[in-house]
A and B are shown apart, each in its own frame.
Chain A
């Protein structure tokens, strides 16, 4: 059985070749597309577990492709970027990517990122005890990974869901950035506060009635984030 099905979207033929060969050798099923448009078409016809998406492509471009994929799917997306600036990374995450890797990258590093992104969410401590949550117009359905705020339903990506369940298991407690990053992204992470900023914002957009004035996902300045529950979660 393959470790997962990956679509590589990159305009450079050599990179597509290397990726196909390397990822196949590591047990993945690989397909590739030469442009954002081609990639989107491919995603419409087949199912994939993960997209490796080049940021800088002629035509539609990686950022726009990422946005379009994300608008209809919660498939895992890793963006490959040449530019190492923080703003570019934040833009990539904002566009809906789960992670990014800076070119040139080492294959073991890329494989680690792919594994971390594809990893089925571990049974986080307290995960089993979580019940569907309903408070102040917010409704979180853990089995279908859906949140409903005042009748507006959004689907969560795996990473968003992981982050949210970690919060839900520790309501009303300030969780430091590092702890969140290592628990949700993996032990290799810890200083990428931009990930948290972007993902917390993404969660806020989906579950806060007014994302600019968060009621649930509150920032505790310099300390971390806290999931504020107006009332204790109902116990069975």
Chain B
């Protein structure tokens, strides 16, 4: 995707083809000026203050040094040759010719030429160095400005466009394109018809630099920790290689910073939505449970027989209301539990607990339902403590117990026990019911599934699904062994607490 280059106004319209023409004119003018200076010097030395040849030679050298300091190597070299010719013609005998009589003067002439050429070279080199230093300083300043600009990037908006905008604001590039690998964002500006899409993607994947001479295009991968995270394409050679590398590094940091900011924002949004869901579920639970609370308080009070016992018929009717209230209340609890677990809005409140207290707690919660049933509890006291969410594990146990109570005949005992496994305490719950058919074993853990022959029994079909989800949150799972006709056993492991931590 290439976004419309909205930032065109910032791209300097530096016309590549006009620059050399202007440069040549300037150079020509400089040469003319240098030659004029030599001519002027010759005129002064000949007509205004006549001097001997030695003095003339030195004064020519001074003129050439002046030209070399102000101008470049071309004009100072031309001026050197011109000065040598003038020196020979006007000052070395025989004067007025380019011939030299005295061989010593040949030496003087060449010494003069060598000196002037060396001086112009040295001077030009010094100038070049100064120019380069100036350029580096400019680049550092621009990179600094860029790094400040990149800090102000708004991560909620497309990032590539903003980075390209910042680069074109600070660096005088003629064309620029940025590709961000993570998001697939690509933004180009000032590149005209040049198609860089494929080249950018290629550079980002292969992590290699591409230079095209005829279009003056450089495509550089952006790496972070050795890993290519995007690529950048530039035309024009406004930047030195070192500056380009620094720019690429800055862009890499900006991209990474934007990424981590985005991750933080996303985590925050997820947390808020989780909180909202949780609050909503709490509110729903409260709204449903409040009327149930009044009903339950009334029915249980009437059924308690104090202060006055109810007549048999009324007792029977109120019992129906009471049982239905329990059923409705359990449905609400289950539905909300399931919503909470599936919505991921519950957190494990891990603590260290003894298996016996977990089992006893669950049995206590089920007290009203298990009154007439025979339950064998075998939880040795010497089992090590486990690290679990006690409330949720009790939910698991009550669902399994509820299941066993429902699906096994009332006179058959239910066994609950715990034994030591490998780095786990295994808790099992066995009934002597009809057992579960092979074909049904996987399905019973699915939401709302009810045994084929047990549809007449009360229940929400959510219990086993909830139990399994809770155990999975603990990194465990529930296992089922069943022999049709003999009964079923559900078992699960609980991780032993690391060390004996005092409560």
Listed in ascending order, the chain A residues whose CB lies under 8 Å from chain B are: 12, 14-15, 17-19, 22, 25-26, 56, 80, 82-87, 103-110, 190-191, 193, 197, 219-222
Contacts and interface: CB of A to CB of B under 8 A. Distances in A.
Interface residues of B, number: 37
B286 A56 contact: yes
Given A82-B285, A85-B391, A104-B292, A221 B300 contact: no
B293 A104 contact: yes
Given A82-B282, A86-B389, A220-B502, 14 more contacts: A12-B294, A18-B297, A80-B293, A82-B290, A84-B391, A85-B391, A103-B293, A104-B289, A104-B325, A107-B300, A107-B304, A109-B300, A191-B360, A222-B354
Interface string B295-326: 11110110010110000000000000000010
A85 B333 CA distance: 12
B380 interface: no
Contact of B391 (A86, A191, A219): A86
Given A26-B306, A104-B329, A221-B500, A82 B286 contact: yes
Contacts of A191: 357, 360-361, 364
Going nearest first, the 4 A-B pairs with the smallest beta carbon separation are A106-B300, A221-B502, A107-B301, A104-B296
Given A82-B285, A193-B503, A104 B357 contact: no
A105 B296 contact: yes
Contacts of B329: 104
B297 A25 contact: no
B439 interface: no
10 contacts: A17-B294, A22-B298, A26-B306, A82-B282, A82-B285, A85-B349, A86-B391, A103-B292, A105-B293, A110-B297
Contact of B290 (A12, A107, A221): A12
B357 A193 contact: yes
Given A56-B286, A82-B286, A84-B391, A105 B502 contact: no
- B293, B295, B349, B502 pick with most chain A CB within 10 angstroms: B293
A83 B285 contact: yes
Contacts of B349: 85-87
A182 to B, nearest CB: 13
Contact of A222 (B291, B360, B502): B502
A29 B354 CA distance: 42
Interface in B330-384: 333, 349, 351, 353-354, 357, 360-361, 364
